[in-house]
């Protein structure tokens, strides 16, 4: 059985640990096990219960009212809240529940519904990224099995690929951009997202994907012109530091380098041949700005 700490519950539900403890004691909500007098541990079912409680609470329902509800009343209230109060947050909670159980059918059904209802761009910004951020918090504390992140990312990846393929008939005349993640980096969702927005803006994209060796990159650049390199790194660079990696790219490539991702967060941003993007919103703004410039 998978186990979570109260800090994991705090991160996913957006409610401070001391508040959760107080609610447990006062209202007997989400009572968890404490094996051998150790710290509280929570199961998948405990986490799902807290997700539902926190959703109702964040959407205006008093905790005393939630505590007084039966399970059936709480489920009925949740269904109404998901539809009217904050549907994006509701979808995020449902995706977390489905991924905890590796419920592929439920996860895909939710994904299909939200894309059909809101479009891929809204879903990427308001649902997929916030969801992956919360799952990533668990992954970083070793309490979300990496398989859960891979399970979810694979399904989201399929939706992004369909959206990108749908842009194939567009006339492309903008800058030439090569997108890749270096050797050892396998997180693909941010890279595919950038690919979608660059391609939608009419840029000529070359998508190398994740885990790209330096040799593959150098070989392509020696044969084909590229105006920009775009790379996104979350957690891993093989046998080098972020500073050394960017320096190596500059030695191999004379155009501009667009970099994003947590691994580059601490690097200085004062280089004229670099563009640093800190968020999805910055990526979208940069894409629009670049679109307005004359073609290279």
Q: Is the pLDDT of residue 273 over 70?
A: yes
Task: Give 150's contacts (C-beta < 8 A, 6+ positions apart).
Answer: none
The domain made up of 6-157 is a member of CATH 1.10.287: no
Half-sphere exposure of 87 (CA within 13 A, CB side): 11
pLDDT tens per residue across span 59-87: 889 999 999 999 899 988 888 887 777 78
Q: Answer yes or no: same fold for 6-157 and 166-291.
A: no
Q: How confident is the model at residue 230 (pLDDT cuts 50, 70, 90)?
A: very high
Q: Is the pLDDT of residue 290 over 50?
A: yes
Q: Is the pLDDT of residue 296 over 50?
A: no
Q: Is the pLDDT of residue 271 over 90?
A: no
Q: Is the pLDDT of residue 209 over 90?
A: yes
Q: Where are the domains of the chain?
A: 6-157, 166-291
Question: What integer is the mean pLDDT of 162-189?
Answer: 88
DSSP E strands in the chain: the ranges are 176-182, 204-212, 228-232, 256-260, 274-277
Residue 86 to residues 10, 36, 175, 199, 263, Cα–Cα distance (Å) = 20, 40, 38, 31, 32
What is d(CA 6, CA 41) in angstroms, rounded to the nearest whole number?
7
Q: Which residue has the higher pLDDT, 82 or 15?
A: 15
What is d(CA 55, CA 72) in angstroms, rounded to the nearest whole number?
16
Pull the structure tokens for residue 112.
């299909």
Question: What integer is the mean pLDDT of 259-287?
Answer: 88
Pull the structure tokens for residue 138.
């668990």
Q: Which residue has the higher pLDDT, 33 or 14?
A: 14
What is d(CA 222, CA 237) in angstroms, rounded to the nearest whole number?
23
Pull the structure tokens for residue 263.
């691994």
Question: What integer is the mean pLDDT of 21-45?
Answer: 76
**Of 212, 211, 221, 232, residue with least CA distance to 276:** 232
Q: What is the pLDDT of residue 141?
A: 46
Question: What integer is the mean pLDDT of 103-119?
Answer: 93
Question: Beta strands 274-277 and 228-232: pairing type?
Answer: unpaired
- Residue identified by tokens 């989400």 is 30
List the end-to-end C-alpha distance of the chain, in Å, as a whole number. 56
Q: Which residue has the higher pLDDT, 15 or 138?
A: 15
Q: What is the pLDDT of residue 9?
A: 86
CATH topology of domain 166-291: Rossmann fold (3.40.50)
Q: Containing H/E element for 252?
A: helix 242-252
Q: What is the pLDDT of residue 294?
A: 60
- Please, which residues bridge with residue 257 across strands? 229, 274
Question: What integer is the mean pLDDT of 197-215?
Answer: 93
Q: What's CA 229's distance to the chain center, in Å?
A: 22
């Amino acid at each position: 059985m998978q186990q979570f700490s109260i800090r994991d519950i705090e991160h996913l539900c957006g409610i401070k640990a001391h508040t959760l403890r107080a609610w447990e004691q006062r209202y007997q909500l989400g009572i968890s096990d404490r094996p051998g007098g150790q710290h509280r541990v929570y199961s998948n079912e405990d986490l799902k219960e807290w997700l539902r409680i926190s959703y109702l609470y964040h959407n205006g329902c008093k905790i005393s009212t939630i505590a007084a509800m039966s399970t059936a009343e709480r489920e009925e209230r949740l269904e109404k809240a998901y539809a009217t109060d904050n549907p994006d947050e509701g979808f995020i909670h449902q995706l977390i529940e489905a991924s905890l159980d590796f419920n592929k059918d439920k996860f895909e059904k939710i994904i299909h519904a939200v894309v059909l209802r809101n479009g891929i761009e809204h879903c990427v910004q308001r649902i997929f990224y916030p969801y992956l951020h919360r799952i990533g918090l668990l992954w970083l504390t070793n309490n979300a099995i990496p398989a859960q992140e891979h399970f979810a990312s694979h399904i989201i990846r399929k939706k992004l690929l369909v959206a990108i393929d749908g842009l194939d008939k567009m006339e492309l005349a903008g800058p030439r951009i090569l997108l890749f993640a270096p050797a050892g980096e396998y997180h693909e969702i941010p890279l595919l997202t950038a690919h979608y927005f660059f391609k939608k803006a009419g840029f000529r994209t070359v998508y190398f994907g994740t885990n790209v060796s330096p040799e593959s990159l150098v070989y392509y650049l020696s044969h084909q012109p590229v105006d920009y390199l775009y790379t996104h790194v979350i957690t891993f660079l093989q046998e080098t530091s972020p500073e050394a990696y960017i320096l190596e790219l500059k030695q191999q490539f004379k155009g501009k380098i667009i970099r994003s991702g947590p691994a580059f967060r601490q690097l200085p941003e004062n280089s004229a041949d670099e563009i640093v993007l800190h968020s999805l919103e910055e990526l979208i703004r940069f894409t629009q700005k670049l679109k307005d410039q004359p073609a290279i």
